[in-house]
Amino acid sequence: MKHPYLKSQPDEKGYFGAYGGAFLPPQLVEEFERITEAYMKLRKSHAFLSELRRIRLHYQGRPTPVYHARRLSEAIGGAQLYFKREDLNHTGAHKLNHCMAEALVAKSLGKTKLIAETGAGQHGVALATAAAHFGLECEIHMGEVDIEKEHPNVVRMKILGAKVVPATHGLKTLKEAVDSAFEAYLAQLDTAMYAIGSVVGPHPFPLMVRDFQSVVGLEAREQYREMTGGELPDHVVACVGGGSNAMGIFSGFIDDDVRLYAVEPLGRGTKLGEHAATLSYGKPGVLHGFKSILLQDENGDPAPVHSIASGLDYPGVGPEQAYLHEVGRVESVGASDRETVEAFYAISQMEGIIPALESAHAIAYAMKLAKEVPHDAILVNLSGRGDKDIDFVVENYGVMTWPSEGDAS
C-alpha cells in the first residue's frame, strides 16, 4: 500500500523535498528543538487531541459547513461550485484553527506568553483571541505604518487584552515587525513562545500549522461525500499567501485522484512589485528561517509585492507548497485584483456571502475554471469573511453589479 502522504512529509529535519528546514540564529536552535520534540509527542497525545477537538466543537464553531453554491454555478453555466465555509469560524477565518492549537502547544511547554508579528492584523487578532481563551499574555508586533492603516484590528487586539508593540525602524511594515518580534522573543525565551501565522518559518512550524489546518480538508472530504452519496470533487481550489488554508483543504484530498490548485495573487501586472505570485515567478532562497521559493530582486533580497488582499502579499510561500508545486501535485494558477473584485461581488450578490478578498482570489479562479470543465465539481476553500474589506472595495472600485452589463455569462 502507498504510504499516506501526510505521514511521509516532511522528513525529520523538516524538509519537504529540497524545501523547509530550520535556518536559525544560534540562540534559537535549542528552543526550536524543544518545540519540535514537544510537538512530536503532542501530535500523538490523546489528551492534546481531545482537548483540541473539544475547543473546536464548543468554542470555534466547527465543523464549518460545505455549501453548494447553486445560484452562482447556474449563473456561470459551468461546473458545480461548492464552498468550505471557513468564514464561519469564530473570528471569521481559518486562522483560528492553528492559533488555538499553537496556544495549546505553548501551554504544554509551560509558557505563559505568546509573541507574534502581524501585517494586516488578522493573525494578531486570531492569536489575541487564543491567548484570551487560554489566559496567556499576548504581545503582537506591528509596523507603525500598518498600525495606522489597520486601525480596527489594532483596537480588536487591545480589547482582547493583547499588547501591541509598534515597529518603528525601516519601512515600519511587516518585515520590521518580524525583526522586532524576534528580538523580543530572544529576550523572553523562558516564558514566551513565538506563534507563526501560516505554514512558514523554521521547522516545526510548517508541519505543525499544516497538521492544525488539516481539519479543514478532512472535514470537507467527509461532508462532500455525505452530500453526494460517496463522490469526491474533481477539483479543489484555495488561495495562497503563506499557504495554510490551502494546505488545510489539500490535506483532505492529497492521496485522492483530485486536482489541486493554488491560486496566487496576480495583482495589477506581471512586473516585480505588481503582484505576489511567488510560485509563478519566484526562485529558491532562504527567508525568515526556512528554504522555499521566494520572489527576489536582482540582489537576491525579498522583492516588493502587491495584492489587494493584505493576507496574500508575502514574497515567499510555505516549503510544502513549494515542494508540491515542484513535483506537480498542485497546479499554481492566479487571479488578478480586478478578477478578484468581480468574484467578491459575484458571491455577495448570487449567494449572500461577502468573502474576504483573499478567499475571493480562489473563487475568481474557480469561476474561470468552471467554464472550462462544465461537467465537473469544484470545491473552493472560502477561507474568511469580507467585513474587513468592504470599505476598501467600495472606496476603490465602487459598488458593482454582477454580472456587469454586456458581460454575458
Query: Residues with catalytic annotation?
Result: 95, 117, 383
What is the total count of residues that contact ligand PLP (CB under 6 A)?
A: 19
User: CB of 125: closest distance to ligand PLP in angstroms?
Assistant: 9
Q: Rounded to whole angstroms, how far apart are CA atoms 275 and 336?
A: 8
List binders of ligand PLP among 237-266 (CB under 6 A).
Answer: 239-246
User: Nearest CA to 114 among 56, 123, 210?
Assistant: 123
Would you list the DSSP string of 126-144? Answer: HHHHHHHHHT-EEEEEEEH
User: CB of 409: closest distance to ligand PLP in angstroms?
Assistant: 25
Q: Rounded to whole angstroms, how far apart are CA atoms 361 and 344?
A: 8
- Give the x-and-dash track for 88-107 against ligand PLP (CB under 6 A): -----x-x------------
List binders of ligand PLP among 191-210 (CB under 6 A).
Answer: 198
Would you list the DSSP string of 2-22? Answer: PPPHHHH-S-TTSEETTEE--
- Give the x-and-dash track for 327-356 against ligand PLP (CB under 6 A): -----------------------------x
Residue 220 binds to ligand PLP (criterion: CB under 6 A): no
Q: Which residue among 14, 383, 389, 402 contacts ligand PLP (CB under 6 A)?
A: 383
- Tell me if 192 sits within 8 A of 136, measured CB to CB: no
User: CB of 408: closest distance to ligand PLP in angstroms?
Assistant: 31
User: Nearest CA to 97 among 194, 193, 198, 192?
Assistant: 198
87 versus 139: smaller Cβ distance to ligand PLP? 87
- Tell me if 236 sits within 8 A of 275, measured CB to CB: no
User: CB of 130: closest distance to ligand PLP in angstroms?
Assistant: 15
| C-alpha cell recorded at residue 279 | 510560485
20 versus 78: smaller Cβ distance to ligand PLP? 20
31 versus 385: smaller Cβ distance to ligand PLP? 385
78 versus 236: smaller Cβ distance to ligand PLP? 236
Which element (helix H / strand E) includes 347? helix 337-351
Total residue length of the chain:
409
Q: Rounded to whole angstroms, how far apart are CA atoms 382 and 86?
A: 6
| C-alpha cell recorded at residue 209 | 500549522
Q: Rounded to whole angstroms, how far apart are CA atoms 26 and 191?
A: 19
- Give the x-and-dash track for 131-170 against ligand PLP (CB under 6 A): ----------------------------------------
21 versus 241: smaller Cβ distance to ligand PLP? 241
| C-alpha cell recorded at residue 202 | 523554521
Q: Which residue is nearest to ligand PLP (CB)?
A: 384
Pairing of strands 259-267, 235-239: parallel
| C-alpha cell recorded at residue 384 | 474568511
Q: Rounded to whole angstroms, how far apart are CA atoms 406 and 409?
A: 9
149 versus 225: smaller Cβ distance to ligand PLP? 149
User: CB of 182: closest distance to ligand PLP in angstroms?
Assistant: 19
List binders of ligand PLP among 111-130 (CB under 6 A).
Answer: 122
Per-residue CA distances from 97 to 40, 150, 200 (Å): 18, 22, 15
- Give the x-and-dash track for 50-89 against ligand PLP (CB under 6 A): ----------------------------------------
Q: Rounded to whole angstroms, how far apart are CA atoms 99 and 128?
A: 9
Residues in touch with ligand PLP (CB under 6 A): 93, 95, 122, 198, 239-246, 311-312, 356, 358-359, 383-384
